[in-house]
Structure 1
Amino acid sequence: MTAVAASADTAVVVEQPDLPRRYAGAIGLGTLLQPLNSSMIAVALVQIGLDFHAGTETQWLVSGLYLATAIAAPTAGRLADLLGARRVFLTGLVLVALVSAVAPFAPTLGWLIAARVLLGIGTGAQFPSGVAMIRGMADRRKASAVGALGLLSIFAQTSAALGPSIGGFLVGTFDWQAIFIFNLPVAAIAGISVLVLVPRDPPRQRDNSRSIWREIDLAGLVLFSAAMTALMLILLSLAGQPLWWLLAVAIPVGVLFVVWERRVATPFVDVRLLATSATLSMSYLRTMLTYVAFYAIFYGLPGWLEQSRKLDPSKVGLVVLPIAAIGALTVIGATRLARSRGPGPLLLIGSAGLLVGGSALAFGVHSGTPIVVLVLISAVLGIPNGFNGLGNQLAVYSAAPAEETGAAAGLFRTSQYVGANLAAAAIALVYSGPATDAGLQRLGYLVVGIAALLLVDALRQSRSGPAAA
């Protein structure tokens, strides 16, 4: 396998062995939990609402997990960098198992929402700590991490594709409680696999607890959590009655957070690095925009298929399945390309594919479009997912310092969830009511606009040469 190091004038190809797949396989089982729990709940909301005599309040079962994960992911990543990635990964699995065991017995919807928040904290730990484990093992073995990160992308794409189907089967065969119980064997298998296959964390120097808390930067963590909570609540409210007054919290707390992080020796988020590393900052912005487009399609297209194309939910699931399924398949080709060329070509292909798919929605789809054409368009929309997902992940991985890999991966996850919530607001705005042909066309225009911006950035990156991974 190869890694590519770029300089201003030349690109030097260095032969590196691939990190054994057993490591990424064990870690990937744990990272399945977050996308599965994000998607399985969608098919359980109606039944949960009936059981608890609730209406739109059930949406907080979705939003609560998103909010918790957006904050927990960078927190877990920072803890992984300081205390040990394997240790944080396993702790997250234990929390997932405990919450999943008690959630089916929640006496009220409020308690169930609280359980989903805790579940978001637990599942938010796996990806950043998993990437930190991969980085550590790859550096110690002087191996390439591209194949391992590609395998994590395949796990993510596959679980996104299968989540609604698994959830539908569990709810239909048993009841909504089963989507929580399902986590128990997954967490157990993932935990045992990591314990058996993944090496222990390197020994940490013996520091007193006061020194450790200083390194964690509790003040920075609290300020980040407060600012991110306010921001996410604003984004979640955009589809209904926007909570603009929360800007009075988000902006000053955000400014205070930046000022504080610039002054402390071991910041929770290295804002100085973000200010000086345009590559890393642009990678987070790019990830956010990519997921605005992805979730706008992934959630906006099914609504149109049901309301305008008049398909029943089972057929809707089959029509949109290629979006995630093809995305999982394209990761294989993207991984091979990334080994020799870095993330640049992946982002170029992904952006161009998104532009083509968005154009198809904007100019080639209406309520009379044949099913086979809709399936083909879904397949086209799936192509950029694998390339963009792995390309953005590798861009962040390559730009982040090795000692901050966990925190960087956590912020990568947070960027995804900010994009997801912006997409929810965008869907509400472009449809402005029922999902009509005109609304889908506007959705296509949105995707085309985002894809054009991403394509310009990808062309800029391609001129700077390949990056190491």
Structure 2
Amino acid sequence: MTFALKRTDRTTARSEGFDRRLMTPMILSSVLNPVNSSIIAVSLVPIGIAFGAPASETAWLVSALYLATAIGQPVVGRLIDIFGPRKLYLAGAALTGIAGVIGMIAPALWVLVIARIILGFGTCAGYPAAMYLIRSESERTGKDSPAGVLTALAVAGQTIVVIGPTLGGLLIHLGGWRATFAVNIPLALACLIIGSRRLPKTAVPQGPKTAGLDLPGIGLFAATLITLLLFLMNPQVSHWYLPVIMIAAAAALVWRELHTNEPFLDVRLLGGNLPLLATYVRALLTSLVGYCFLYGFTQWLEQGRGLSAAGAGMILLPMSITAIGISALTGRRKEIRGKLLVGGAAQVLAAAVLLTMHSAVGLWLLLAAALIMGIPQGLNSLANQNAVYYQADPARIGSSAGLLRTFIYLGAIGAAAASGTFLSRDTGAAGLHALAWFMLAAAALFLLLALVDRSLARIGRTAEPKEAR
């Protein structure tokens, strides 16, 4: 498969460089999910107070978005591989705006959960569409897309993730927690207007609409993730049947994908691409650690330390500044292994610092923890994204990018479940320390995987991505 786009708004079929007009819609849509992922961190406590819901229930606001996105990202990514990005980009933007309206008027917690599910599906298209466009521009120009394009995409998403809590605190201070849903409306409108004007049209493939779309595989993939989430959100011996169903669905998924000509997940390809699989696992682990800090530390600051949502957001500001600065400084360097080693070590240190926290700890230590956590936030996501770009099959770049986000969201789901579990038992220092030990184990495993993966050293020495097969 090639990335042939029908560019009706071009005077020539080929130009000298990357089309910079694509940058704005790419970045704007790709940040929709990060802003909703991070802004909720400071909203959970006010929403829980408004609806009289404990942390174990408000955690569903986090997990609902991630479940929808974990399922939707590779599905939408595969659709983008087949049909191109334009229609899916615009449909996702429309769903995001609808979810924002529902969140503004939601009368109960379960309605907010529905709004978050719609947000999850609505924000699915941005990242795989951007990765598809980057690859298609490389095909069109005959040259690798500039390193700064991938860097800009990663820095934009990472910037939104780390400033999300601060932005959320400000919005809550100005307009209450409903303002954190309302912010999606202008963002969605901007995506619709700019996307409709700048995104290229794609030649419609011949044949049935579902050609190349493995619907049974998608269904089994969804069943695997849903049962996993349900068990993680309330792990009990009485729920033993959930992991059994999950394992059965996963086994059926593998069997199905090995026996179909157009698999949703190309198991053979993934099995033969161990560096890509290792990148996905590292993405899961760094997301698990990062979101445990984002959700758990923020919740402890509000409930254990007694800070307001705005105050908790301000504490996390050093994380934002550090992550943005490090991403900007290191983004143009293709080398990946060194970034992951430094980022992994910083994750271990951040988790260790949380073990020293108590209700009367000095402000300087709170700020230091946030600053240290900004280091892996600025290094790991960018490194993993670049690794996928160079390791993935070009013909499946959309679905491969979507699958990267799926692993990130699985980590976030695990973080939400862990935060809800540990902090529901004790919102004080003991609960935070239990969560920190969990983070420390995941961070140590991440660092170990980065140390033993020798394939990472070759990426920085190779200027060009894989040739299309």
Q: TM-score, normalization: structure 2?
A: 0.85
Q: What is residue 35 of structure 1 aligned with on the other side?
A: 34
| Amino acid across the alignment from 1:260 | R
Matched, 1:455 2:447: yes
- C-alpha deviation, 1:360, in angstroms: 3.0
Q: What is residue 186 of structure 2 aligned with on the other side?
A: 185
* Contact kept? 2:221, 2:253, Cα under 8 Å: yes
Matched, 1:324 2:320: yes
CA deviation profile, 1:61-108 (whole Å, cap 9, x unmatched): 333222211111111111010110233212211222234345544565
**For structure 2, which runs of at least 5 residues remain unmatched after alignment?**
1-15
CA deviation profile, 1:271-322 (whole Å, cap 9, x unmatched): 1111111011111111111111111222222344345545444333222222
Written as runs of structure 1 = structure 2, the 5 A alignment for 1:115-264 is 115-141=115-141, 142-201=143-202, 203-205=203-205, 207-209=206-208, 212-238=209-235, 243-264=239-260
The number of residue pairs the alignment matches comes to: 444
- C-alpha deviation, 1:49, in angstroms: 6.0
What's the secondary structure of 1:336's corresponding residue?
coil
What's the secondary structure of 2:265's corresponding residue?
coil
Q: What is residue 61 of structure 1 aligned with on the other side?
A: 61
Q: What is residue 24 of structure 1 aligned with on the other side?
A: 23
How far apart, CA to CA, are the structure 2 residues paired with 1:241 and 1:116? Answer: 29
* Contact kept? 2:25, 2:191, Cα under 8 Å: yes
- C-alpha deviation, 1:429, in angstroms: 5.5
What's the secondary structure of 2:333's corresponding residue?
helix
| Amino acid across the alignment from 2:30 | T
- C-alpha deviation, 1:405, in angstroms: 0.8
How far apart, CA to CA, are the structure 2 residues paired with 1:166 and 1:75? Answer: 30
| CA gap 1:51/1:388 in 2 versus in 1, 3 angstroms | closer
| Amino acid across the alignment from 1:40 | I
| CA gap 1:19/1:466 in 2 versus in 1, 3 angstroms | farther
* Contact kept? 1:74, 1:408, Cα under 8 Å: yes
* Contact kept? 1:327, 1:385, Cα under 8 Å: yes
How far apart, CA to CA, are the structure 1 residues paired with 2:151 and 2:260? Answer: 35
Matched, 1:89 2:76: no
| Amino acid across the alignment from 1:287 | A
Matched, 1:277 2:273: yes
CA deviation profile, 1:117-144 (whole Å, cap 9, x unmatched): 2221111221122222222223322133
- C-alpha deviation, 1:46, in angstroms: 6.0
Q: What is residue 407 of structure 1 aligned with on the other side?
A: 399
| CA gap 1:457/1:122 in 2 versus in 1, 3 angstroms | same
How far apart, CA to CA, are the structure 1 residues paired with 2:99 and 2:420? Answer: 32
How far apart, CA to CA, are the structure 2 residues paired with 1:360 and 1:50? Answer: 29
How far apart, CA to CA, are the structure 2 residues paired with 1:246 and 1:140? Answer: 47
- C-alpha deviation, 1:352, in angstroms: 2.3
Q: What is residue 291 of structure 2 aligned with on the other side?
A: 295
- C-alpha deviation, 1:426, in angstroms: 3.2
Q: What is residue 394 of structure 1 aligned with on the other side?
A: 386
What's the secondary structure of 1:124's corresponding residue?
coil
Q: CA RMSD in A?
A: 2.9
Q: Which deviates more, 182-191 or 278-287?
A: 182-191
Q: What is residue 9 of structure 1 aligned with on the other side?
A: none
| CA gap 1:373/1:168 in 2 versus in 1, 3 angstroms | closer
How far apart, CA to CA, are the structure 2 residues paired with 1:447 and 1:365? Answer: 14
How far apart, CA to CA, are the structure 2 residues paired with 1:389 and 1:330? Answer: 12
Q: Which deviates more, 150-159 or 309-318?
A: 309-318
* Contact kept? 1:99, 1:118, Cα under 8 Å: yes
Q: TM-score, normalization: structure 1?
A: 0.85
| CA gap 1:175/1:308 in 2 versus in 1, 3 angstroms | closer
How far apart, CA to CA, are the structure 2 residues paired with 1:49 and 1:445? Answer: 26
- C-alpha deviation, 1:53, in angstroms: 7.0
| CA gap 1:162/1:18 in 2 versus in 1, 3 angstroms | farther
Q: What is residue 333 of structure 2 aligned with on the other side?
A: 337
**For structure 1, which runs of at least 5 residues remain unmatched after alignment?**
1-16
| CA gap 1:426/1:63 in 2 versus in 1, 3 angstroms | closer
What's the secondary structure of 2:331's corresponding residue?
helix
- C-alpha deviation, 1:369, in angstroms: 3.5
What's the secondary structure of 2:263's corresponding residue?
coil
How far apart, CA to CA, are the structure 1 residues paired with 2:371 and 2:388? Answer: 27
- C-alpha deviation, 1:448, in angstroms: 3.4
| CA gap 1:80/1:110 in 2 versus in 1, 3 angstroms | same
Q: What is residue 349 of structure 1 aligned with on the other side?
A: 342
